[in-house]
Amino acid sequence: MSKSDPIKPKRLAIIASKGTLDMAYIPFILGSTAAAMGWEVGIFFTFFGLTLLKPKIQASVTPLGNPAMPMKMPFGPKWFQNVVWPIPVFMMSIPGFQALATTLMKMTFKNSNVATIEELREICIQFGARLIGCQMTMDVFGFKREDFIPQAEIAGAAAFLEYAGDADVSLCV
Amino acid sequence: MSSEGKTVLDLKGLLCPMPVVKIALAMKTIPVGAIIEATASDPGVVADIPAWARSSGNELVSLEKMGDREFRFLVKRLK
């Protein structure tokens, strides 16, 4: 049901350039959903998105420089969980704060029963989505093929653009 | 060439994209013409399951809201 051909499945192309916990969800949720809907999916991991191709994903998140991220505690009674804590920016650079924010964010997701990044990536793979590492940024940041999961492919911009040229939906994160 | 067996799935507590993903995975295991009945609590299924059915070429037989966070739907494998 692609725009050009009613018989072919739709095609999704995503460029994933960020490696933080909040930005990691976007390509994998959209990718797994599209793949489950029968779409062709290709996700191009570049720059800091490359870290999402490692076997063990260790993505962090911080409200530092991320003012839209609300600071709420994912535990305790309901009224407590609804409090938005006004944390001063200087506190966010205290050692350990980023790890704390990451832990709390993961707990928030777990409370709502949201799948983990690794689980969503596994679903993408199960449905045949292509996970492609960017050759150029791999060389720049010193990643090697062996650093990534075996299902990942390696390609450059031209190869990905050829794929995306026929995509019905193209996104960049 | 079709069979009318019915698989029942409990998707309560699962949030997007898991309801759609679980249905798609279950579809692979049933023969063409078979039906899956599922209950879910995610209000997103109201929009997501019909969209999935249209996209994947399968049939949404019914979708009902049973309660505040309870939805029941039947999907049929067409291909």
Q: Which residue has the higher pLDDT, B52 or A7?
A: B52
What superfamily would CATH give domain B6-76?
TusA-like domain (3.30.110.40)
Question: A7 CB near a chain B CB, below 8 Å?
Answer: no
Closest residue, chain A, to B49 (C-alpha): A37
User: Given this model, what pLDDT does residue B1 score?
Assistant: 35
What residues of chain B score a pLDDT lower than 70? 1-5
Distance, C-alpha A81 to centroid of its chain: 26
> Which residue among A36, A114, A120 sits closest to B20, beta carbon to beta carbon?
A36
Chain A positions touching B56 (Cβ under 8 A) are 36-38
Strands A11-16 and A169-172: parallel
CA distance A54 to B48: 30
Is A153 within 8 Å of A132 (Cβ atoms)? yes
User: Given this model, what pLDDT does residue B5 score?
Assistant: 60
Please say whether the dihedral angle defined by the alpha carbons of residues A79, A29, A168 and B47, taken in this order, is positive or negative: negative
User: Given this model, what pLDDT does residue B79 score?
Assistant: 85
Q: Does domain A11-59+115-172 have CATH number 3.40.1260.10?
A: yes
Chain B positions touching A114 (Cβ under 8 A) are 15
**pTM to 2 decimal places:** 0.89
Question: A111 CB near a chain B CB, below 8 Å?
Answer: no
Check residue B76 and give left, alpha or beta (phi > 0: left; psi -120 to 50: alpha): beta
Is A87 within 8 Å of A72 (Cβ atoms)? no
pLDDT band of residue A110 (cuts 50, 70, 90) is very high
Which of B18, B23, B54 to mutate: most A Cβ within 10 Å? Answer: B18
Question: A28 CB near a chain B CB, below 8 Å?
Answer: no
Beta strands in A109-172 (DSSP E): 130-134, 153-155, 169-172
B34 is catalytic: no
Closest residue, chain A, to B13 (C-alpha): A113
Q: How large a percentage of chain A has pLDDT more than 90?
A: 92
> Which residue among B15, B23, B51 sits closest to A113, beta carbon to beta carbon?
B15
Q: Which tens digit of pLDDT belongs to each residue from A67-83?
A: 999 899 999 999 999 99
How distant is the Cα of A52 from the closest Cα of chain B, in angstroms? 19
CA distance A12 to A32: 11
Q: Mean pLDDT, to the nearest integer, of A155-171?
A: 95
Question: A120 CB near a chain B CB, below 8 Å?
Answer: yes
User: Given this model, what pLDDT does residue B2 score?
Assistant: 41
In chain A, list all ranges with CATH 3.40.1260.10: 11-59+115-172
Domain residue ranges of chain B, discontinuous segments joined by + = 6-76
